[in-house]
Structures are given as C-alpha cells and as structure tokens.
Amino acid sequence: MPEEAPKHRPVRRLRSIIPAPLRHGVLIFIVLLVIEYLVIPEFVVAGKNLHILSQINIGWLITGVALEAASLLCYAALTKTLLPPGRVGLFTCFRIDLATTAVSHTIPAGSAGSAGLGYRLLTNEGVAGPEAGFAMATQGVGSAVVLNVLLWFSLVISIPIAGFHTIYVIVALVGMIALLATAALVYLLTRGEESAAHVVRAIGNKIPRVGGDRLEDLLHRIGGSLRDLLANRELRRKALVWAALNWLLDAASLWSFLLALGRFVDPVELFAAYGIANVLGVIPLTPGGLGVIDASAPALLVSFGVTKNVATLGVIGWRLVNFWLPIPVGAGAYVSLRVPRGSGLRVRRDAIKEMRWRNGSRGAMSRLANEPLSRDTPNENGATSKD
C-alpha cells in the first residue's frame, strides 16, 4: 500500500532553491566589488602618504591600542552583567567575546555565527540555554540601540558646529527604524507574550527536532529575563554604562590614532563620523563592515575638515586593532576555552578547524541548536571527549 502523502509540504528554504555555486559566486562577487572600489583605493592613498608615519607619536599610538583593549573589556563586562551573578567570570566572558568577535570578522553576516558560538561557549561554562540566549540577544540588540542614541546626540551637537550633512537624514531614519523595531520586540516579549506564544508554538511544531513546547518555553523564559532586567534599575544602569563605554572607548581609540598623526579632531565630530560609519557597517555585505567602514569613516572625517591622508592612515591604523587583531587573538581565546592546558599543537590546530566548521555561515545556528550542551574538547586523534 503506498504511503499517504503528507498534508503539509515543508516550505523550501532559499538556500535549497538557489544552487550553492551560484550563492557562493554572488557572495564572492560582492566581496570583490567592495575590495576593488572601497578597500584598495584607500590603501593606494595611504601608500602615497607613508612619509607621515615618520612623524607619528608613539605614545598616542600605544594609547589607541590600550583604549581598544579597554573597549573590548567593557563589552565583556556587559556580557557578565547580563548573565546570572557568579556564573561566569569576567576573564572568561572576555575570552568568549573575543572568540565571537573573531567569527563575526571572518564570515559575511557573521552575527548569526558569532551568536551561535557565544551561546555554545556560555552553555559549556554552565549557563542555562535560555539565560545564554537572552544574554547574547540583549547584548547585541542593546548595544546597537545605545550606539544609535549616542549617535543622535553627537549629530544634534555637531550640526551647529560643522553644519548639516545629507547623510544625517539617512542615518536618523535607520536609527529610528532600529529603535522602533527594538521597542516592538520588547513589547512583544513582555506584554504581548501570550499572543506571541501561539505563533511561536505553531512555528516550532513545523521545525524538526525542536517542537512548539520547547520554543514556547524558551519564549516565556526569555520574556521573564527581560522583565527582570527592565524592573532592576541598578542592573539596567550597569548594562547601559558598559555598552556606552564600549562604543565611546572604541571611538576614543580612533581619536588617538588620528592624534598620533598630529591631527586633533573635535570629539563630537569624530563620534558623528565614527557612529555613521558603524551604522553603515551593519549592512551584512562583508564581515564586520569590512570595506564599508574603512571607506566611509575617512570620507566622513574629511567632511569635518581632516586631511584625506591623515584620515586614511588613522582609520587604517585603528582598523588594524579594531578589526584585524581580534581575529588571531579571538582564535587563541577559543583554543584556551576549548582545549585543556598542556595539549599539543595538533589538538590546538584541530580546535581551530572545529571553530571554522561549527560557525560557518551555512547552518551555524541549526547545528548549534541540535548539539548537546556538554563541554567537549578534541583529543589527540581529532575526536571529542567530555571533560
């Protein structure tokens, strides 16, 4: 007797419709366009002005690196603040954030892969799944909201000083949309939870190995955590302070690199350029806004009166510690979290391969969602074993 055909045909995802070679080809084409028209011209300009480096102030250069490290440490403090007290130490959060930053800087739209990696590393440290998911989601969304608020303040202050720029309107609209979307999400999770639960349950019932009950329970637990955060004034204040310091210290790092080249930039104008470049860098074309930030930040600084050669070299120096340096450092942080002390070079190399496989752009979140949450580390044969 032939089997009865299923009543509901599963919806085919976009990646199942478009062949993988075509998807990869389009992605490579976009990356090459960004490199050709945004990145290479900046390096050409920088190459013609390398004589400026002979006059660089080493003290301000070191200050810029130190400020970038402090910015990353504040982001780790934000992660720790959003987790239950006493679960994970600050140094562990610092290493987890470095590892997730490395992933987000190596794959396009890397926020999904980095969030999956952060979730897994936190649960490996004993944090419950919903608590880890809440921390990662709130960290990313809340940090973006804080950036938009700080940017709005800088734009309002900079208009009387430097005049009005057309791009202000675009950035203000993007920021407003982001804030409205965040407000709608908060309302949905705190006051419209029951309505959302029906939708989540229906979606969960159609996802293999997930189930509606599991997703609904996750929704309720995340909603409860969000209500606790909103009700706890002290906790909310700490989270906002750490998120603001993360952005302000990162911008101060850029300011120090420009000052190392002998150019003082008004802090308000600098943050306006910095904030706009980072908002534009959110567009998921390249990893970590590569090319977009590198091209837009110098152009915006030039519009505020900075010479093009200083703006280009300053941004390149800042991006070396802001974008490129966290990649190898984050890989080392991941190894330190996943590999026991005293392990050989082969085990560490296998851990890096595991990092790339688990957190690639293709299916990273789905793999992590279906894997056990126990700590497992690669042994000498490349397999994994529980501690």
* Any domain includes 224: yes
Cα distance between residue 104 and residue 110, in whole Å:
4
Q: Give pairs for 346-351: CB < 8 Å, separation 24+.
A: 346/380, 346/382, 347/377, 347/378, 347/379, 347/380, 350/378, 350/382, 351/377, 351/378
Confidence at residue 45, expressed as pLDDT on a 0 to 100 scale: 57
Residue 332 half-sphere exposure toward CB, CA atoms < 13 A: 5
Mean pLDDT of 6-32: 54
* Any domain includes 84: yes
Sequence-ordered list of residues with C-beta below 8 angstroms from that of 74, at least 6 positions apart, any chain: 242, 243, 245, 246, 249
Confidence at residue 18, expressed as pLDDT on a 0 to 100 scale: 59
Confidence at residue 194, expressed as pLDDT on a 0 to 100 scale: 65
Confidence at residue 114, expressed as pLDDT on a 0 to 100 scale: 78
Confidence at residue 87, expressed as pLDDT on a 0 to 100 scale: 80
DSSP type of residue 290 = T
* Any domain includes 155: yes
Confidence at residue 381, expressed as pLDDT on a 0 to 100 scale: 42
Q: Hey, which residues does 316 pair with through a beta bridge? A: none
Residue 87, CA distances (Å) to 90, 114, 219, 232, 243 in order:
10, 21, 22, 19, 20
Looking at 44-48, 113-117, 245-249, 277-281, which range is the least confident one? Answer: 44-48
- Structure confidence at residue 187 as a pLDDT band (50, 70, 90): low
Q: Name the residue range of residue 67's domain.
A: 52-375
pTM value > 0.75:
no
Q: Is the pLDDT confidence value at 224 over 90?
A: no
* Any domain includes 47: no
- The larger pLDDT score, comparing residue 241 to residue 168, is at 241
pLDDT digits (tens, 9 = 90+) for 129-140: 888 888 887 888
* Any domain includes 237: yes
Q: Is the pLDDT confidence value at 259 over 90?
A: yes
Work out how many domains the chain is built from and give that number: 1
Mean pLDDT of 337-360: 62
> Residues of the chain with pLDDT > 90: what percent?
27
Radius of gyration for the chain, computed over Cα atoms and rounded to the nearest angstrom: 23
Confidence at residue 29, expressed as pLDDT on a 0 to 100 scale: 60
Mean pLDDT of 43-71: 80
Looking at 120-134, 181-195, 268-282, which range is the least confident one? Answer: 181-195
Our CA angle for 16, 17, 23, nearest 5°, is: 85
Token pair, residue 178, equals 């982001």
- The larger pLDDT score, comparing residue 37 to residue 387, is at 37
Looking at 31-45, 111-125, 232-246, 282-296, which range is the least confident one? Answer: 31-45
Q: Are 385 and 347 in contact (CB under 8 A)?
A: no
Backbone torsions φ then ψ of 277, nearest 5 degrees: -60, -40
* Any domain includes 6: no
* Any domain includes 109: yes
Q: Is the pLDDT confidence value at 11 over 50?
A: no
Q: Is the pLDDT confidence value at 375 over 50?
A: no
- Amino acid residing at 199: V
pLDDT digits (tens, 9 = 90+) for 189-213: 666 656 666 666 666 566 655 556 6
Q: Are 180 and 171 in contact (CB under 8 A)?
A: no
Q: Is the pLDDT confidence value at 379 over 50?
A: no
- Structure confidence at residue 282 as a pLDDT band (50, 70, 90): confident
> Residues of the chain with pLDDT > 70: what percent?
57
- The larger pLDDT score, comparing residue 18 to residue 263, is at 263
Cα distance between residue 355 and residue 103, in whole Å:
8
Confidence at residue 217, expressed as pLDDT on a 0 to 100 scale: 63
- Structure confidence at residue 96 as a pLDDT band (50, 70, 90): very high
- Structure confidence at residue 338 as a pLDDT band (50, 70, 90): confident
Confidence at residue 197, expressed as pLDDT on a 0 to 100 scale: 63
Confidence at residue 246, expressed as pLDDT on a 0 to 100 scale: 97
pLDDT digits (tens, 9 = 90+) for 58-95: 999 999 999 999 999 999 999 999 998 888 999 999 99
Q: Hey, which residues does 386 pair with through a beta bridge? A: 376
Q: What is the mean pLDDT of the chain?
A: 75
Q: Are 291 and 39 in contact (CB under 8 A)?
A: yes
* Any domain includes 385: no
Q: Are 228 and 135 in contact (CB under 8 A)?
A: no
Cα distance between residue 162 and residue 269, in whole Å:
8
Confidence at residue 101, expressed as pLDDT on a 0 to 100 scale: 92
Cα distance between residue 203 and residue 271, in whole Å:
42
Confidence at residue 77, expressed as pLDDT on a 0 to 100 scale: 96
Question: Helix, strand or coil for residue 105?
Answer: coil
- Structure confidence at residue 363 as a pLDDT band (50, 70, 90): very low
